[in-house]
Amino acid sequence: MPAPNPAETPAQPPVPVTDRSAWLAADLAADPDWIHRLDGDEIQELDRAVEAVLERGLGPGRFGRDDFPLTHLADRIAGWARDIDHGRGCVLVKGLDPARYDDDALAALYWGIACHLGEPVPQNAAGDLIGHVRDTGRDYHAKNVRGYTTRAEMRAHCDAADVVGLLCRHPARQGGESHIASGIAIYNHLAAERPELIPPLLEGFHFDLRGEGVTDDPDETTFHRVPVFSWFGGRLSCRYNGKTIEDGMRKRGLPLDGLALEAVREVGRLAIAPPFRFDMTFEKGDIQLLSNHSILHARAAFEDWPEPERRRTLWRLWLNLRDGRPLAPAFADRLNTGPRGGVFVRGAA
């Protein structure tokens, strides 16, 4: 690993960070320019592109941007990528009617949008590129269980890619609201009000990989400490998951205590508290796109419909932007798979 450039890694970033990524909930509520509604012409563009790939027998993972031709909408998606990485970090796309598509067509549409945004990466050890966020009856508090397979409340966290996308196929009967917060605004608050908590967050922690690491060890953690807040290339980025931090440090024989434990828990507490937390309720066809480098997301517990065909289902994508921000080496290697690497896929050559 190359040595960091001291000029790029000051002990503490300038305070406050004043760009659009440092928003509060009231800012999102007052200015909905982060919400994009697809018009009829754009949906027709998507439909033509979906028809083109399905006629060739292509599905997710088997075609790229050039196979999914878009005109005006391609420029708009490029604007979403800029907003995600250089703006507020969140985009909500509305206007799709998922009832118009069978699963194959909707998956092709979603994959096509993703390919115009960036490069999808594996999000679990099975190599899934589109994951299904739904209740499988598992216990969130059991060892190595990932929260997206349960109906439990999920604490604030970032995922391990530049962007996480969620497409709502079916909403819950009750609950399941998405909570988002700006990690950059939380940093500003801590640096001003609790500066003693900043150093352990900059030093970072060993994150638990929940049995999906590159070794056969179910207790594998990140080999190095991954910072919660990382300053590099003139920008501040965030990487947080309170549960995997606490579990990972415990697995390493370094259970958190003192200021380090307080710092980790305070980030999670602030992310679901005013004035940081913004609440969103998914509607059918919504696509939520979030920067994992600036936004923390959480989820309320939910109650499902009794009918299997109506149960809450979100389709998840992890992807890296083609021209994403530069990341410090220790920050970029989040899963022991190298800079910006996805989850290690078992059985892959």
CATH number for the domain that contains residue 287: 3.60.130.10
Six token digits for residue 121: 């990466």
Six token digits for residue 225: 């400490």
**Residue 111 included in any domain:** yes
Per-residue 3-state assignment (H helix, E strand, C coil) for 6-66: HHHCCCCCCCCCCCCCCCCHHHHHHCCCCEEECCHHHHHHHHHHHHHHHHCCCCCCCCCHH
Give the separation between CA 20 and CA 180, rounded to whole angstroms.
Answer: 15
pLDDT by residue, tens only, the chain of 349 residues? 334 443 344 456 667 899 999 999 999 999 999 999 999 999 999 999 999 999 999 999 999 999 999 999 999 999 999 999 999 999 999 999 999 999 999 999 999 999 999 999 999 999 999 988 776 666 666 777 666 767 777 899 999 999 999 999 988 788 789 999 999 999 999 999 999 999 999 999 999 999 999 999 999 999 999 999 999 988 999 999 999 999 999 999 999 999 999 999 999 999 999 999 999 999 999 999 999 999 999 998 878 778 777 788 899 999 999 999 999 999 999 999 999 999 999 876 4
Q: What is the pLDDT of residue 134?
A: 74
Q: What is the pLDDT of residue 3?
A: 40
**Residue 70 included in any domain:** yes
Cβ atoms within 10 Å of 224's Cβ, excluding its own: 14
- Pairing state between β 90-94 and 35-37: parallel
- Pairing state between β 178-182 and 295-299: antiparallel
DSSP, residue by residue, 208-262: B-TT-SSSS-TT-B-SS-B-SEEEETTEEEE--BHHHHHHHHHHTT----HHHHH
**Residue 220 included in any domain:** yes
Q: What is the pLDDT of residue 123?
A: 93
The reported pTM is: 0.91
Measured CA distances, 48 to 52, 58, 71, 142 (Å): 6, 14, 11, 45
**What domain range is 200 assigned to?**
25-332
**Residue 340 included in any domain:** no
Give the separation between CA 226 and CA 339, rounded to whole angstroms.
Answer: 12
Element spanning 105, H or E:
helix 103-117
The single-letter code of the amino acid at 20 is R
Structural domain count of the chain: 1
Closest C-alpha to 181, from 296, 273, 29: 296
Cβ atoms within 10 Å of 109's Cβ, excluding its own: 25
**Residue 349 included in any domain:** no
Q: What is the pLDDT of residue 150?
A: 74
> Is the Cβ–Cβ distance between 173 and 303 less than 8 Å?
yes
**Residue 156 included in any domain:** yes
Give the separation between CA 204 and CA 174, rounded to whole angstroms.
Answer: 36
Six token digits for residue 193: 């009000």
**Residue 2 included in any domain:** no
**Residue 298 included in any domain:** yes
